[in-house]
Amino acid sequence: MSATVPLVVLAAVAAAVLALAGPAAAGSDTDLRIRVWNEGRDATPTRTFTLRCDPAGGSLRNPGLACRKLAVLRSPFAPLRKDLQCTQLYGGPQEALVTGSYRGQRVWVLLNLRDGCRIDRWRKLAFLTPGFGTAANS
């Protein structure tokens, strides 16, 4: 048996273990700053929160739960698709800016309530903006 066969088997086992670890490993290298404006970004930020995962910490209420919620979301900070059809609803002037790193990737995402797609996104990430916006509280 050649020496490469055990290496291939070892690599396959390592890949399987990492795949099973998925969400648990998701918190690695997560360090976020969330600034929230009740009246839009023209005003002074209403609140600023921080969130770190693995280990969980920061000023966000219940950081461990927030890290677990983030871990199960698929690409929570990905840009909205350009071809997305969004209802023309207005949910309010609230905005939140999420910056930092998530799973080792740089993050800069502006959340707002300007249409149905953005309201939906705000609701999915409402645990990052506790108590802000009617959409986040519903």
Three-state DSSP at 112 gives: strand
Query: What integer pLDDT is reported at residue 62 of this predicted model?
Result: 93
CB 76, CB 66: distance < 8 Å: no
CB 67, CB 56: distance < 8 Å: yes
Taking each helix axis as running N to C, give the angle between helix 63-72 and helix 4-25, from 0 to 180 degrees, rounded to the nearest 10: 130
CA distances from 40 to 4, 68, 77 (A): 59, 28, 20
Cα 26 from Cα 56, distance rounded (Å): 12
Cα 41 from Cα 95, distance rounded (Å): 7
In the beta sheet, which residues pair with residue 32?
51, 100
Q: How many domains does the chain have?
A: 1
Helix, strand, coil share of the chain (percent; to 5): 35, 25, 40
Query: What integer pLDDT is reported at residue 27 of this predicted model?
Result: 47
Q: Is residue 3 part of a domain?
A: no
Q: Is residue 11 part of a domain?
A: no
Query: What integer pLDDT is reported at residue 16 of this predicted model?
Result: 36
Q: Is residue 6 part of a domain?
A: no
Cα 51 from Cα 130, distance rounded (Å): 13
Q: Answer yes or no: pTM beyond 0.85.
A: no
Q: Is residue 106 part of a domain?
A: yes
Q: Is residue 14 part of a domain?
A: no
**Range of the structural domain that residue 107 is part of:** 26-77+85-137
CB 112, CB 95: distance < 8 Å: yes
In the predicted model, residues of the chain with pLDDT beneath 50 are 1, 3-27, 134-138
Q: Is residue 12 part of a domain?
A: no
